[in-house]
């Protein structure tokens, strides 16, 4: 493929290298900033006093990026890190000057969930651990200085999540039998839980947080409606007592509030892009003040604040920029830029991402995004169909390094929120049940045909690519619609639905019956799953295929890729196959990302000339 002269070719590593500074946070007392930055090619935590340009590196991780972190107190930072992508996350604590580093959860084959950061209790957090039983999580109250840990709630075997009130007391639990969920409530930690509501997994009532008097709670609910709405629930009865907000076209699930002022501040939801509805004049004025300061076509998120809520961190972003971090001091009304993220990328050299809609072959409205390269004529272009994972997730508008990289190389990129993608209501989600490789795949095929009809796509130069479920969709696309694609790239994708179900992480097992309803039961739906498993249909694959996999992947076992490669080899077809021993469900280490995308670039260029 010859690159159009209008496009300046940006070095591949500029899209996929670690940013200089990212994930800024502010200490609870508002005196310090922290952020992640590369050291020895891994993202580590740095701390600086507000007003100072001097920063201190407080962690020294060399084998793996820090996956996430937060301020546990004014002096102590907590962070999560796994080993080689196995997703058995340990929780570590370190002082803000780098001293007193402790592995708080030094257990093998155990993963940590953060349940409540307990901002009001300086030395403690609530965490979930599956160390007693790998399939379920008990709650522990953990001292972040000494590492002392006491069980706060023992899981009887069916609780999938817990919710605390504003005093850090565990008051709500959600149980599951794999298909039905029950909402349990108690007056306080001295009283037993009682069941106040049971629904099937198709109906969701997701508690968000308690009202400020700790008597009722807010939730996202689709009970008796198609689209999830924000509601207030009486925990004594499980009944909805107030509708706070709903949207006619999309689910609404985000509700923000001021801890200090004890008021609801904003509702968040996603149409084709993120939108906010403000419930509070003060929060709205802060947002508008910061937005006015930031020039250009940027959206902003107020990403963090201190306990007094007079200092705020802000993140800007767009479809053509990773954006920047800003610090806003409400007392001085000053907005200060902290750092540009990916400053080496220039917005004017990147491509616009625009929303699209089309009709599926059975009449559903399918939403998605189209990104076209920065060239004057958008006709007969080579195309990469980039399928999202999940599958019960969705693509959203914003900066995507894969999309921008591919557009810079002259490809049009089609992203599709096929049926089952979240955010579009209950019916659209349920339309995906037991439809892997069938209607879910047809929605993708219909998008490809729509792009051809628009005259944008060269039907002889279309590739399909994705990770996780997107990797499955790649294999399914090549096997079930071989006429559509010139090549495919499968990244940690499922190939065999029988073996996939048998190798899921142990803590997914409580949801296995739900998976059987949504995907298929390997004992009862044998023909259905065989039809939908690409590994049994390799004889139909005609287009070249490149596969990449992490050996430590706990979600999509390496055997999923191994058996696909073996099946093709048995037919005399050699498949480029990249396996990384120190990676899991996707490549986190920078050098592995570079190698994967460099091979992918050569592969696409070879087959979409």
Find the catalytic residue in 82, 86, 165, 553: 553
Instruction: Give one word for 401, left, alpha or beta, with left for phi > 0 and alpha for psi -120 to 50.
Output: alpha
Find the catalytic residue in 90, 367, 537, 585: 585
In the sheet with 263-270, reading across from the earlier edge strand, the strands are 252-258, 263-270, 274-278
- Is 113 a known active-site residue? no
- Is 254 a known active-site residue? no
DSSP secondary structure string for all residues of 71-118: ESSSSEEEEEE-STT---PEEEEEETTS-S-EES---TT--EEEEE--
Q: If DSSP codes are grouped into helix, strand and coil, which group holds residue 292?
A: helix
Nearest to 411 by CA among 437, 444, 386: 386
What does residue 548 show for φ and ψ, rounded to 5 degrees?
Answer: -130, 140
Determine contact, residues 136/510, Cβ cutoff 8 Å.
yes
Q: If DSSP codes are grouped into helix, strand and coil, which group holds residue 38?
A: strand
C-alpha distances out from residue 75 to 30, 47, 99, 114, 136, Å:
12, 11, 10, 19, 32
C-alpha distances out from residue 506 to 35, 101, 583, Å:
33, 30, 19
Find the catalytic residue in 468, 495, 533, 561: 468
- Is 256 a known active-site residue? no
Task: Name the DSSP class of 11.
Answer: P
Burial annotation 184-211 (CB, 10 A radius, 16+ → b, else e): bbbeeeeeebeebbebebbbbbbbbbbb
Nearest to 34 by CA among 47, 53, 15, 43: 47
Q: How far apart are CA 431 and CA 1, in angstroms?
A: 39
Q: If DSSP codes are grouped into helix, strand and coil, which group holds residue 198?
A: strand
Q: If DSSP codes are grouped into helix, strand and coil, which group holds residue 432?
A: coil
β pairing state of 353-359 and 381-387: unpaired
Nearest to 122 by CA among 24, 28, 257: 28
Catalytic residues: 468, 553, 585
């Amino acid at each position: 493929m010859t690159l159009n002269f209008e496009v300046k070719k940006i070095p591949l590593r500029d899209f996929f290298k670690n940013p200089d500074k990212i994930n800024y946070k502010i200490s609870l007392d508002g005196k310090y900033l922290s952020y992640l930055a590369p050291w020895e090619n891994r993202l580590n935590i740095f701390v600086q006093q507000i007003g100072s340009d001097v920063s201190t590196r407080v962690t020294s991780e060399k084998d793996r990026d820090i996956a996430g972190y937060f301020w546990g107190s004014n002096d102590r930072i907590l962070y999560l890190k796994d080993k080689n992508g196995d997703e058995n996350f340990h929780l570590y604590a370190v002082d803000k000057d780098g001293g007193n580093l402790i592995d708080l959860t030094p257990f093998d084959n155990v993963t940590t969930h953060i349940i409540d950061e307990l901002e009001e209790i300086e030395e403690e957090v609530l965490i979930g651990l599956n160390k007693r039983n790998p399939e379920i999580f008990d709650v522990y109250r953990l001292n972040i200085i000494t590492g002392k840990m006491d069980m706060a709630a023992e899981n009887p075997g069916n609780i999938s999540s817990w919710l605390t009130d504003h005093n850090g007391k565990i008051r709500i639990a959600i149980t599951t039998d794999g298909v039905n969920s029950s909402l349990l409530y108690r007056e306080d930690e001295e009283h037993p839980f009682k069941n106040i509501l049971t629904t099937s997994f198709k109906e969701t009532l997701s508690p968000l947080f308690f009202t400020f008097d700790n008597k009722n709670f807010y939730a996202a609910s689709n009970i008796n409606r198609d689209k999830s709405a924000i509601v207030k629930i009486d925990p004594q009865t499980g009944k909805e007592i107030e509708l706070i907000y709903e949207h006619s076209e999309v689910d609404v699930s985000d509700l923000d509030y001021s801890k200090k002022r004890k008021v609801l501040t904003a509702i968040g939801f996603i149409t084709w892009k993120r939108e906010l509805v403000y419930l509070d004049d003060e929060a709205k004025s802060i947002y508008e003040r910061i937005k006015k300061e930031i020039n250009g076509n940027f959206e902003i998120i107020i990403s963090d604040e201190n306990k007094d809520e007079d200092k705020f961190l802000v993140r800007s972003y767009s479809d053509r920029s990773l954006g920047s971090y800003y610090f806003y001091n409400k007392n001085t009304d000053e907005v200060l830029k902290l750092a540009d993220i990916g400053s080496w990328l220039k917005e004017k050299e990147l491509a616009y991402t625009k929303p699209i809609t089309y009709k599926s072959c059975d009449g559903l409205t399918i939403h998605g995004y189209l990104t076209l390269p920065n060239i004057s004529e958008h006709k007969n272009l080579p195309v990469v169909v980039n399928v999202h994972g999940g599958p019960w997730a969705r693509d959203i508008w914003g900066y995507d390094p894969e999309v921008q990289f591919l557009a810079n190389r002259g490809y049009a990129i089609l992203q599709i929120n096929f049926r089952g993608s979240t955010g579009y209501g209950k019916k659209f989600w349920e339309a995906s049940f037991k439809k892997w490789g069938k209607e879910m795949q047809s929605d993708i095929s219909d998008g490809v045909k729509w792009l051809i009809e628009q005259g944008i796509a060269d039907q002889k130069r279309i590739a399909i690519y994705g990770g996780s479920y997107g990797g499955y969709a790649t294999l399914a696309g090549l096997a079930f619609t071989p006429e559509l694609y010139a090549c495919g790239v499968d990244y940690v994708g499922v190939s065999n639905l029988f073996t996939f179900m048998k190798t899921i992480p142990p803590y997914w097992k409580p949801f296995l019956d739900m998976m059987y309803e949504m995907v298929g039961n390997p004992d009862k739906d044998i023909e259905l799953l065989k039809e939908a498993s690409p590994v049994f249909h390799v004889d139909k694959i005609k287009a070249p295929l490149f596969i990449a996999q992490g050996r430590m992947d706990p979600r999509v076992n390496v055997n999923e890729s191994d058996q696909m490669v073996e099946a093709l080899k048995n037919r005399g077809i050699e498949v480029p196959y990249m396996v990384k021993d120190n990676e899991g469900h996707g490549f986190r280490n920078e050098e592995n990302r570079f190698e994967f995308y460099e091979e992918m670039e050569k592969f696409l260029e070879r087959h979409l000339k």
